[in-house]
Structure 1
């Protein structure tokens, strides 16, 4: 699967991958994310903080 330009919806086994809670500094959206560079699903900003 190839994905360019946005987040994807995938199911991952919870026992192997832990999603962290983030808040976007640009728009205030709260979301769960994984990876080294999580992106806000609302505004696509990478300016996020772990909460």
Structure 2
């Protein structure tokens, strides 16, 4: 096995906080992580950060 560099020191809890979103189609509010946000209620991707 080949490795590059030393050990990785990352705290995965740091900076990975979900953002609050609101669906513009059904009006649902939810929290999510990631780039391709979809409403868990209706499946729409027409969501904005709240």
Flag whether TM exceeds 0.5 (same fold): yes
Which residue matches 1:35? 34
Q: TM-score, normalised by structure 2?
A: 0.69
Question: Which 5+ residue runs of structure 1 have no aligned equivalent?
Answer: 1-12
- In the alignment of these two chains, the number of paired residues is 39
> C-alpha root-mean-square deviation of aligned residues, in Å?
1.4
Which entry has the higher C-alpha Rg, 1 or 2? Answer: 2
Q: Which runs of 5+ in 2 are unaligned?
A: 1-11
- Deviating 4+ runs (over 2 angstroms): 13-16
